[in-house]
Chains A and B, each alone.
Chain A
């Protein structure tokens, strides 16, 4: 640490050098922040305004307000139904992940299984190594053998398998920090483990379940690869895939339709994000965002 202990400069000249340098550094800092803001905000602002513009080329002109573009969306046979497909996949996956992870986390939290910690870390490691991208060939094969090609259930199962390890990890953390005295007294009164789970444990770890649910939805909502590999036709495809087919279908891409569709498709996750960050803040607390 040379600079920590260096004496402050004493001469007038040195001090003014420091002052000038400080001013320059501040100018540099705010110039940089303006550039950053432009880089991130301009595309987003275009996304927010283009759907209401009747000529959404990206120019500096003021948009002329119109709602016609939303009508174009209604006319497209797949646009709205693909959003429903996305909801279906996201809700299905979230439900499966939350349910299965809660059961597994409860068992791991309440019963001393030998090698439990090694198992948890091993699973976590596994899920970060065995990504959909690195195993697309066997996943496709597997889906084919299990008769899950062109099945939305197949997409839900594959996505759930990848999300479960981290979900179990997070939920076990929540369960470990809840007292067991309620469970003990319920047991004295003859409640079955599943009843205890439903009426006592679930209400206690609700924030944890919500965290995992939101996280699963956010992961599935934007996922392109798995449905792209598995689903064959446009009628079952989620918005991620339909979006891609819309702008790669030959000819001139329909900017109006695409920008409107983009906005509708992004809105749910954007709202979810605003809600979560306004309620809980979007900070790292020791590594987990809660």
Chain B
């Protein structure tokens, strides 16, 4: 890969290409629909001698992540991928990874969680992991997934926290588009070899994971928070540097046609693409609508969110996820971020597309027309 090239890739294979370009040294991975093509292309690259990594295929996702953590602590760059139940099975180890400050990068394909069993796009799987201490990116397209994996490595290694790059099942994971695959030299310049000063090594002798005092634990959590705060700036810097190298910038949040907007929609992942269509249609019929696409959910860019939404009369949050007894998780995140804001918008929470239900642009237009005519319900409503 001496030259950048344009390949017709789906979101999953775009992630495999990103993993290859990042030169991970250890890749533990376990198959699960709809993540499996990521694994398959990586093992194919490896078999062809195009990826020089230790590929580990244990018996479960729990063991996959359990292998990732000390591999990362030993100083290796580590990549893996999963989805849905696999991510939930990892839950315990997600905390271990973040607590160990191991900058693992993992792609997660957002898929419904059981029961009942289903395979459709739904972000409850990763949103249920938001308190584990992982950076969380949400991607709208195969190109963005490729770019995000590479940016995630850079940010994760700079701040010492693991990062998850999420994209929606099938809408992104299995949809083909022309993807710019950067030259290896470009990525090598962007992502220097991972060489942490602290690592598990007989020469250094330091250990990780022993029992700590209350005070040490407390200070450790504070340090994780400080790393999250640094991650915001690091993510912006990585995106700007990526734009300089490739011409592509995504921001940590993107404002689409928000100028003079009387209503702004907030969404994650593939819903953003559909919403863009709806915004154009609404603008054409004279409704000043805009989209705020949140690319980074952890750390939550609260200051940028508040700046972007201050003075907007109505905000509609679209949730392709469901927290029973609460409603939309993103709805709560946005309301929390805006609390106490002068000229705070009215925030409407809409459970749109839960379980992979199709949400066409026309439906979003209907939801907007209905919402701006009435006061928001306190709770999320089924959209």
A binds B: no
Chain A residues within CB distance 8 Å of chain B? none
